[in-house]
Every structure is written in structure tokens, then in C-alpha cells.
Structure 1
Amino acid sequence: MTDGILLRNLDADGILRLTMNDPARRNALSEAMMTALGTAFAEAGQDREVRVIVLAANGPAFCAGHDLKEMTAGRSGADRGRGYFTRVMTQCSGVMQGIVNCPKPVIAEVTGIATAAGCQIVASCDLAIAAETSKFSTPGVHIGLFCSTPMVALSRNVANKHALEMLLTGDMIPASRAAEIGLVNRAVPAEALCETTTEIARTIASKSSMTLATGKRAFYAQREMPLFEAYDYASQVMVDNMLARDAEEGIAAFIEKRAPEWQDA
């Protein structure tokens, strides 16, 4: 199914491929693109047929960040754009939080460049697989605009010094380096990218959706807590999870040496 700048395809395994499709603007996060992405992730989160989401892109760039021409036009108001910029940044932050809060695992499949808010998307996804030819940067410092919102996702994925090196220099890093510092899971040959991503997605899709949603939600919640609070929270999550039908079925299947039959409940 197509929706202009965002293409949707759901396969028989429950893998939803969302493909950003605005190559002329290097898949920039225009208002239209952010609206499409926000809607797609919200809908996918509620769709029982969707088990895993892959976010990809057409063209030479995965995502070049915000549409700077659109942003510049927003300066025309009497407030020099304060109201417009506030609305756009709020919308962008909502998209990123929508990825994290989506109960379905989200995998970024990266080709070309992912810069600024495009790098932020990659960091916001649960997993990221990149072509060896792809590159990443937070280049705001080059134009007098520190990548403060990309910093939020970046600093939660890589160590402080690696994050600050990217933010302070604005330098482009290759996929191999992105994998070294933990921004992406793997850097693979471009011709193997789709196959690798799909293989990982299928592996995840074969699990209980209830279990995956429980785990994803708990992962992001506990990492912001002090150690003792995280253990108290995770212990309660485990208790609730043990009482779920799929945990009962999964344990029984393991003991009986058979494949589990998930109810996603």
C-alpha cells in the first residue's frame, strides 16, 4: 500500500516494511513526513497482524534530517519562527517517542546517509542494520545549530565521549564505526542488507507479540531507574509475565519438546 512519501507493505510473517519515499528531498523530516511516520507507527502499534516493523528508505539517503528550506520559511512570522519551530520540534520529538513507545519492535534498515534528525531516527529504533556504505553524523555545529534533540537519542545509545565527539565535531562516521560505538547493530554489504534485516525481523516475528511488547516496554522503563528500583519493577514484570497465557504455553512447549502455539496474550 502506498501513501505518497511513506510506503507500507505487510508480509505474511507480520513484518511491516515502512519505506520513506521522498528521495528528491533526501527523505527529510518535513512536516508531511513526520505526520506520515507518526500515524504509521501509531496504527502499527494497534494492528494485531503487525509483529515487527522495518523502517527503510528509497534513494541515496536514509534521512537527511529536518527540511531546512521548510524550516527557513517558518521564520517569516512576527515571532521570527518561535511558534513554528516549537511546533515542529514537538512533532519530531513525538515521532521519536512514538518509535520507542510502539509495542512492536522497530528495526532501522539504513542505506546512504543518516544525518541530524535522520541519525536520531536510527538511534531511536530498537535495532539498526546498516549497509557498509552508509554514513552517520550530527552536523548541526556546521551551521550554528547544535543537534540538541538528536542528542537525546544518541546519548542513550552510545557512550558519552562517542556521542559528544559526533555532536561537537559534526563529522561523518562510516557504518563500521557506527557499529563499533553501538549506534547500529551491524554493518553489512549493501547487497545483503535487506536479507539480513528480514532474517532478523522473521526471527523476532516468530515470538509471542505479548512477550515482545512486555519486554520492550520494560527495557526502556527500567534503564531510567536506580538499580534497586529497576529490580523491583522488573521482578513485578516477570511475575505478571509468568501469569500470561503465552508464558505458560511457552514453558510447557519447552518441557514437552514441541513448538509453542502463541495466542499473543
Structure 2
Amino acid sequence: MYPASFRYLRPQTLDEAIRLLEENPEAKLLAGGHSLIPAMKLRLATPPLLVDIGRLPELKGIREEDGAYFVGALTTHAELERSSLPLLPLVARVIGDPMVRNLGTLGGSLAHADPAADYPAAVLALEAEILARGPRGERWIPARDFFQGMFQTALAPGEVLVGLRVPKLPGYRFAYEKFLHPASGYAVVGVAAAVLQEGEALKDVRLGATGAAYGPFRLEGVEAALKGGAGPVEATRDYTPPVPLAEDRFASAEYRLHLLRVLARRALERALAG
């Protein structure tokens, strides 16, 4: 199918893009386009105006800033895959195919908030923060508060996702385990792990899940069991998540629970093994 008729504008600055969004509340931002364009072709989205921010230099690049990494929203999956950031390269390398990885962006994925996207699990495990800018200025949103449901985020109308602040986490080890849909590459279930071990003691552990429910979440029950001295097998064997699990034509809720437990154990074992 062909998309409905729309206008197209390409602002030269981020402030101009924000002004256009304020003046056109029904407009949509275009970055990599890998989520929006297919939805428009199916007439699931019919924005009257596209504001193309894909070439704004303000949203590009990875840099060190205030003892952390700042990752611009327009950083592509391929750029993340080649970076030395914690955890995110492990996630980027299993997203889609080379074309998707070369065009799709971190900011677009996070702002779209697809419940089967890969990055949400990682940003939860990293305890990252999202920078948003709108007509009223800038604000930082903790990852735990950013995702608010299926395709829903904490971004206010007129706000643009500018980038992501990722802590350096020295000494931590990371892993990402994913059971993917064979056609789309999206996660039926994915689990990201960040662990800090001192000797035999597990000082910190963070687990983020995606695909299993209608939004990403932390596996706090598994984290607590591990901190209490349980091993990966014991901590995940009977784990029950705090949210309803998704059920669709790809997998039942029961199967997703099985995948969640298995992938959480594998991610932990892989991270602990270094």
C-alpha cells in the first residue's frame, strides 16, 4: 500500500524541529524511518506532516561527558555495534539485518517503545537516563520512568529525544540473550544483564526484560534472590514477573514465561563467565 498524503519538512536545527512540532501537534518525527514508514504504508499512521531530523548534527555522536557516556539519538545500531559502550554493542549486533542496523537509530527505537524492541532491556539494566528537549527546555528521564506501556513513553507532546546518558560501570560484566522472531528479528523475549562481582560475592546485579510483556521491566525478584546468595538456576527457576505477560500469535504467555526464565539464567551465566 501507499501512505496517505503528507507534507515533509527538514529543519536545520533542533530548535526549529521543536518549533515545528509545537505548531503542528499531529506531526511525526522522522529519523531512521524503520518503524514509522512501514506503519504509514499500512495506513496505521497517517501524520499530516513529517519533520525529518535525520541529519541534525546536534543529535549525532558518542562522547564522554561528566564521567559517563552521552549517546546521541541519531546514533545508528551499526555505530553502537562498533562502539566500546557497556552492553549496548551486544544488543545492537542482534538487531534486524545490516540495512536496519545501518539506518535505524537508538533514539527512534527508544521513542517508538515497541514492546519487542531490544534496547529497552539494556537501558533498564544500565540504569541509563534519557535526555528530552521541548518548548519548555530540557529534562532528564530515568529509564525506569521512561517506558509507560505499549508504544507509550514519558515524552511530552512536542518533546524530542535528544540522547542517552550511560554510566561507565567499571568492573561490570554484561550479556544479552534473545529468542527472536525468525522473520522480523524482534525479540519474542530478550534479557539484558549487568553484574558486578567481587571475588565470589555478587555486589550488584541488574536484569532488564523485553518482549515478555507489553512493556520492558526489571526482574527484581531474580535480582533479590541473587543478592541473597542464590545461584542463577535457583534464582530463575520459579521466577514470576510482576506484570502480565504478553500473549499473541507468536507465543503464549506460558511460553514467554518459560523463555524469560531460561534467557535470564543464560544471560546471568554468560555475564558471570565474562
TM-score normalized with structure 2 length: 0.27
Higher strand share: 2
Greater helix share, 1 or 2?
1
